[in-house]
Amino acid sequence: MSIYLVLRIVNGHVPPEFTNRLVTVLHGTLISTISAAEVLSKGLCVAEFVQPNSSVQNAILVVSLGYFVFDFLWCVIESEESSVMLAHHVISIIGYLYVLQQGIYGCETVTVVAISELTNPFVQLRWFLKYYGNQSRIVAIIVDCTLALAFWLLRMVLGTILLFYYVQKCQEDMLATVFGTTFYAISAIFSLQIAQYIVHQYRKGPSGLQVQHLIDVARILLPTPICFFLQQVDKAADFFQPLQFGAHVACQVDMRIAFYLVSRQEILDEYATFSSELLPWVSYCYGSHPLGQISSECRIQQCELPGPLMFSLTLQKLVSSIDADDECADLLLQAWYMDDGVLSVNCLAVFHAVQMVEELALL
């Protein structure tokens, strides 16, 4: 709590959630490092289970208990966390109190702290990247995949092994067994949620390319002499033009909810460049907010009469930038119908064009 208040005083201009997550990062990094050092000093030996707590273990548990009490209160007062997260905090608080009161189970509890808190900084890193407007898909993929891999390896694989030995050692203490099993079940729910997010987010490759398509292409190309195949592609490309582009690399771009994300100020600026005949009417529709209506700095409706035209005007700035870029000079085809586009020619030109779309628009 003291660290939170100090950070609020120093960085009062940031949202409270920013400060809370900063405290979480500090706690997760510090406590996971100390806990891991304590566990490694014992050799991660299950013989240490159900043994009296050491002074270092008690200190780790007290610090973690204080953090979870603070974060639980913050979640209840300031945030709207899920019931799973609140249950995780309640079980953690009760578990820490029980271990401190009993004076045993310190080794296994600190081991769980080291495993669980080690993944926490990655969770917060995702939030901070989003807060600072990171639009790099590569960075997002690296962070998401690292989080998912670490979560599953540490909490599910190593956690399952630890639970097996823990339950065997604690057979006579039913309450301790219930705490350990419940915490493991909550971690399993978190792991399932992360897996569902990864599947939902990346079931399609960049710009809508199905992952299965990439696998099929790799399966076909691997046994084929690459040089001979590329020669055939070039020969077929000349043969098919101008009616077909099937021998070239093609990428379909489908912008997600693009009509809802386009800036209204961008609409007005592009329309003013395009024409001045209906500018007062367009400014009234997209620039003014009559009394009693909710103002909005973005979003147009696709079903509105001027909606497709206004969106196409803002899109023209993007496609013109791609067309003028030197690294996209080899593009054989660039065709757009509002928020759907097709890019075709060689791999590097298509890849660079997709990067430009990701930087200048939201895919």
3-class secondary-structure state, position 335: strand
pLDDT > 80? residue 42: no
pLDDT > 50? residue 150: yes
- The residue ranking higher by pLDDT, 293 or 196, is 196
| Band (305; pLDDT cuts 50, 70, 90) | low
CA distance readout (Å), 12 to 7, 15, 72:
8, 8, 22
| Band (213; pLDDT cuts 50, 70, 90) | very low
pLDDT > 90? residue 4: no
pTM of model > 0.95? no
Average pLDDT on 111-121 reads 87
pLDDT tens digit sequence for 166-189? 888 777 788 888 888 898 898 888
**Integer Cα distance of 363 and 348 in angstroms:** 19
Please say whether the dihedral angle defined by the alpha carbons of residues 114, 116, 119 and 120, taken in this order, is positive or negative: negative
Average pLDDT on 76-98 reads 87
Average pLDDT on 116-133 reads 84
3-class secondary-structure state, position 104: strand
Maximum average pLDDT range among 124-133, 205-214, 279-288? 124-133
pLDDT tens digit sequence for 325-334? 776 666 667 7
- The residue ranking higher by pLDDT, 233 or 111, is 111
pLDDT > 50? residue 142: yes
207 conformational bin, left if phi > 0, alpha if psi -120 to 50, beta if neither: left
pLDDT > 90? residue 62: yes
DSSP state of 290: -
**Integer Cα distance of 236 and 238 in angstroms:** 5
pLDDT score for 224: 44
N-terminal to C-terminal alpha carbon distance within the chain: 40
pLDDT > 70? residue 209: no
pLDDT score for 144: 83
pLDDT score for 218: 47
pLDDT > 70? residue 29: yes
pLDDT > 60? residue 201: yes
Q: Among all chains, which residue has been given the structure tokens 């270092």?
A: 56
Interacting residues of 269 by C-beta distance below 8 A, sequence separation 6+: none
pLDDT tens digit sequence for 94-108? 999 999 999 988 888
Report the helix count and the strand count for the chain, using DSSP H and E: 16, 3
